[in-house]
Structure formats: structure tokens, C-alpha cells
């Protein structure tokens, strides 16, 4: 599966924290109700590209924030992004809140895993875990090319940061 692999390493760590409380809702409940949309994808794509620009300009600060995010909830990650003025501005200028950005990202990551599972099962959805919306999996399948393009852009930033550190 080639879902955007490094579109914020923070999200992959947060996927393990679905059961953590978030007010009256858990992250599992939020993600089970969240639906990926065309309008959300447009905003998310712009926010991601804005994020890439910030990552290029301020990679050290963002790497530290990513390292601090293991096991965090959606709300905690959004607060982390809110604490970085450039990143918050990059996301909000695309018409999203940081919370919406993180929720979209985690839903897309989860849908990508679900799409992989469906592909492994010959296109059948019967092995998809409860709480993983089939609509989001279908959305992911329909928009795979756009999401992989964003992933490639993120890989390029990650590769630049890695080579900068080694050099």
C-alpha cells in the first residue's frame, strides 16, 4: 500500500491512540463518524502543500514536534500544531482547522489501510473492522492517485531533511 507514508509521522503514532478519551468522544468514535469529501480533499491538499513549505523552512522544529507526539489524541495533535504558528497558519489558510486537518489525515490513513485490506480480500469488505467507514475506503480508492502525489511530495521533503542531517 502506498498511502501517503510520511504525511506527518505524527498521525501514524496517533492511530494507536484511538481509545484515548477526547471529551465525550474517543478518537475511534470521531473517525467512525467522519466522512472524507471532495471539499475536504481540496482543503487538505492545499494544507499539506502549505505544510511542506513550512517543513522545508523549519524542519528542526517540526521534527521535534513529531517526536513528541507518540500516543497523542486528535485533540492533542491539533494543539501541538496550534502551538507552531507557521504550521497553524499553513493549515488555516487552506480553510481547515488543525483539528479538521488531523482528523482528515487520520481518516485517510485509516481508509488507506482499509483499502489495502479490501484489495487483499479480492475487493470484499466483509473483513473490514467495525468502525472503519466503507465510504471512506471507497473515497480513498477513488482518490488514490492524488493522495499518492501528496505522499511523493512529502517523501521528497523527508529525503531532503534526512540528507541534510547526514551531510
3-state secondary structure of 25: strand
Cβ atoms 12, 53 nearer than 8 A: no
Question: What's the residue count for the chain?
Answer: 167
pLDDT (tens digit, 9 = 90+) per residue, 113-125? Answer: 999 999 998 999 9
pLDDT (tens digit, 9 = 90+) per residue, 78-102? Answer: 998 899 899 899 999 999 999 999 9
Cell of 44: 487538505
For the chain, domain boundaries:
9-14+34-157
pLDDT (tens digit, 9 = 90+) per residue, 37-92? Answer: 999 999 999 999 998 888 888 776 566 555 556 688 999 999 988 998 998 999 99
Cβ atoms 27, 17 nearer than 8 A: yes
Cell of 32: 467512525
pTM of the prediction?
A: 0.77
Amino acid at each position: 500500500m502506498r498511502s501517503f507514508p510520511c504525511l506527518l509521522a505524527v498521525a501514524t503514532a496517533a492511530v494507536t491512540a484511538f481509545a484515548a478519551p477526547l471529551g465525550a468522544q474517543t478518537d475511534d468514535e470521531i473517525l467512525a463518524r467522519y466522512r472524507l469529501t471532495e471539499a475536504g480533499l481540496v482543503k487538505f491538499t492545499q494544507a499539506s502543500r502549505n505544510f511542506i513549505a513550512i517543513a522545508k523552512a523549519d524542519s528542526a522544529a517540526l521534527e521535534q514536534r513529531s517526536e513528541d507526539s507518540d500516543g497523542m489524541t486528535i485533540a492533542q495533535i491539533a494543539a501541538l500544531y496550534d502551538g507552531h504558528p507557521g504550521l497553524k497558519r499553513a493549515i488555516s489558510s487552506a480553510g481547515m482547522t488543525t483539528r479538521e486537518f488531523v482528523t482528515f489525515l487520520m481518516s485517510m490513513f485509516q481508509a488507506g489501510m482499509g483499502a489495502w485490506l479490501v484489495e487483499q480480500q479480492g475487493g470484499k469488505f466483509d473483513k473490514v473492522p467495525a468502525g472503519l467507514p466503507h465510504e471512506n475506503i471507497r473515497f480513498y480508492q477513488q482518490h488514490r492517485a492524488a493522495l499518492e502525489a501528496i505522499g511523493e511530495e512529502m517523501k521528497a521533503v523527508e529525503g531532503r531533511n534526512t540528507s541534510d542531517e547526514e551531510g
